[in-house]
């Protein structure tokens, strides 16, 4: 499965458009990770806990996107866009949404 943020793939011809596909992941942030992240933010350090959760959510969303594209018979997804949001009560959840166009090349 080829994944690209560009609308075309250099050297490849898109033979068929199969439709828009979306992958989403919403993960809860652990209370202790939140506390530690807040302390690290105050002293100017990076928040490893949030970075790991963000990477995990992105991986889940990409896997879901690929599965949905394959279910449509696609072998690539072009025009990929990623959105990140904090949702839930007091911003306690992390959401990653990835969308694109499933195509056959």
Q: Examine the pLDDT at 26 and tell me if it is beyond 90.
A: no
Q: Examine the pLDDT at 18 and tell me if it is beyond 70.
A: yes
56 Cβ neighbours under 8 A, 6+ residues apart: 25, 27
Spell out the domains of the chain, with CATH numbers in brackets. 2-104 (3.30.110.70)
**Average pLDDT of the residues of the chain:** 85
Give pTM, 2 decimals.
0.79
Q: Examine the pLDDT at 47 and tell me if it is beyond 90.
A: no
Q: Is 21 exposed, middle or buried (0-12, 13-18, 19+ CB in 10 A)?
A: buried
């Amino acid at each position: 499965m080829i994944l690209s943020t560009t609308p075309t793939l250099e050297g490849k011809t898109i033979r068929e458009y199969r439709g828009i596909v979306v992958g989403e992941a919403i993960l809860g942030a652990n209370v202790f990770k939140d506390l530690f992240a807040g302390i690290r933010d105050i002293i100017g350090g990076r928040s490893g806990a949030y970075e790991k959760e963000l990477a995990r959510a992105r991986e889940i969303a990409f896997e879901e996107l690929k599965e949905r594209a394959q279910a449509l018979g696609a072998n690539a997804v072009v025009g990929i866009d990623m959105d990140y949001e904090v949702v839930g009560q007091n911003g306690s959840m992390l959401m990653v949404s990835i969308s694109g166009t499933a195509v056959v090349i």
